[in-house]
């Protein structure tokens, strides 16, 4: 049994991770803002909560105490609406919040597993991306890149604590996670949310962009394995499925599984967001490193994962009653 803290533990990934860690026998404390969220509904009532903002050092100190073995740092501000309209908050929470957490973990002697993002690679055209591949981002005048930059700078600081301070830490870069409990503000969740209500999903720019979509159970399994292994210390890992699929194909799968026969709604990103947003044509991981070190690879096929998520949504009408793009 390990004593662990999960920041952002009431969120989508955090909620699933907490349940996984509890099933493993760990003693879990959730640190979050206390706001009601879809992910919070999946947490067992007996989970210990510490309420606070990741930027509040005193609140973090109440959760990250010297008896904590591992801190899973998932708290972040994520979502296109935030990148475009609240860039200062994105940078402040994702960067300064991570600095505060690393300081608290160093004082407590805890290992850190930092949840970063595939966004750090930016628009590097040479896919699939290995962990040490270059970052290629756009202009700093384009708000779209504030999230990528905030996560990349937080990674630099994490590696700095590893190399300069001797902190045990690992970095995870998630690739397009989806599954039950995710708020309807992302491609898969929003498309399922719309399709099951008889509303055509939205496809941007023709839907020819390609991605790999990772079922939440696979991502959580990798996250828990990284936290439990000394082999992962000081390393960054891509965590994602490797099946390349177009966004249009994903939406077609969802419409079929939901029984929707209406055509998709086609929109242009320039019309919707203006020049402050730049989409990526490809985002695919190379996961050979995590497989070689920890023996992990994603095992849930896209169709199976989408089917499980659609079936879950059908059984939870409260989720279907949420508005599109609901805040976390």
| Tokens 């009601």 belong to residue | 36
Burial environment of residue 233 by CB neighbours within 10 A (0 to 12, 13 to 18, 19 or more): middle
Confidence tier at 328 by pLDDT (50, 70, 90): very low
Domains of the chain are 3-174+216-240+285-299 (3.40.50.720)
Query: What pLDDT, in 10s, does the model give residues 37-50?
Result: 666 677 877 789 99
Q: Report the pLDDT value the prediction gives residue 292, as an integer from 0 to 100.
A: 98
pLDDT digits (tens, 9 = 90+) for 96-118: 999 999 999 999 999 999 999 99
| Residues 79/277, Cβ–Cβ less than 8 Å | no
Q: How many CB atoms lie within 10 A of CB 99?
A: 18
Residues with a catalytic annotation lie at 147
Question: What's CA 100's distance to the chain center, in Å?
Answer: 20
In 179-277, DSSP assigns E strands to: 202-204, 210-211, 214-215, 236-239, 245-246, 265-267
- Residue 274: its pLDDT value, please? 66
Token digits for 283? 């985002």
> pLDDT of 54-68, one tens digit each?
999 999 999 999 999
What is the pTM for the complete model shown? 0.94
d(CA 211, CA 231): 29
Question: pLDDT, tens digit, for every residue of 116-156?
Answer: 999 999 999 999 999 999 999 989 988 889 999 999 999 99
Q: Give me the mean pLDDT over the 283-294 stretch.
A: 97
> Quick one: pLDDT band at residue 269, thresholds 50, 70, 90?
confident
Which bin fits 25, alpha (ψ -120 to 50), beta or left (φ > 0)?
A: left
Residue 8 backbone zone (phi > 0: left; psi -120 to 50: alpha; other: beta):
left
99 DSSP 8-state letter: H
Alpha carbon distance 319, 152 (integer Å):
33
| pLDDT tens-place string over residues 146-204 | 999 999 999 999 999 999 999 999 999 999 999 999 999 899 999 999 999 999 999 98
Mean pLDDT on 5-19: 95
């Amino acid at each position: 049994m390990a004593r662990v803290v999960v920041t952002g533990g009431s969120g989508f990934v955090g909620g699933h991770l907490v349940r996984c860690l509890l099933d493993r026998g760990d003693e879990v404390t959730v640190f979050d803002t206390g706001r009601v969220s879809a992910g919070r509904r999946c947490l067992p009532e007996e989970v210990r909560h510490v309420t606070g903002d990741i930027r509040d050092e005193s609140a973090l100190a109440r959760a990250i105490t010297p008896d904590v073995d591992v801190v899973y740092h998932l708290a972040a501000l994520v979502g296109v609406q935030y990148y475009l309209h609240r860039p200062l908050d994105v940078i402040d929470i994702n960067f300064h919040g991570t600095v505060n957490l690393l300081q608290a973990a160093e004082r407590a002697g805890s290992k850190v597993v930092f949840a970063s993002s595939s966004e750090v690679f930016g628009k590097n055209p040479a896919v699939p991306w290995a962990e040490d591949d270059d970052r290629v981002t756009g202009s700093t005048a384009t708000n779209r890149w504030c999230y990528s930059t905030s996560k990349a700078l937080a990674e630099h600081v994490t590696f700095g604590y590893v190399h300069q301070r001797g902190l045990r830490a690992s970095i995870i870069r998630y690739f397009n996670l989806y599954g039950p409990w995710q708020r309807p503000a992302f491609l898969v969740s929003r498309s399922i949310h719309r399709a099951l209500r008889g509303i055509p999903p939205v496809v941007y720019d023709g839907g020819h962009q390609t991605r790999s979509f990772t079922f939440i159970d696979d991502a959580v399994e990798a996250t828990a394995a990284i936290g439990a292994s000394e082999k992962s210390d000081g390393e960054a890992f891509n965590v994602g499925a490797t099946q390349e699929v177009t966004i249009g194909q994903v939406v077609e799968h969802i419409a079929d599984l939901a029984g929707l026969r209406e055509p998709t709604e086609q929109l242009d990103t320039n019309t919707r967001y203006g020049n402050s947003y730049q989409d990526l044509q490809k985002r695919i991981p190379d996961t050979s490193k995590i497989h070689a070190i920890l023996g992990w690879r994603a095992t849930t096929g896209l169709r199976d994962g989408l089917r499980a998520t659609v079936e879950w949504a059908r059984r939870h009408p409260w989720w279907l009653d949420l508005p599109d793009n609901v805040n976390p």
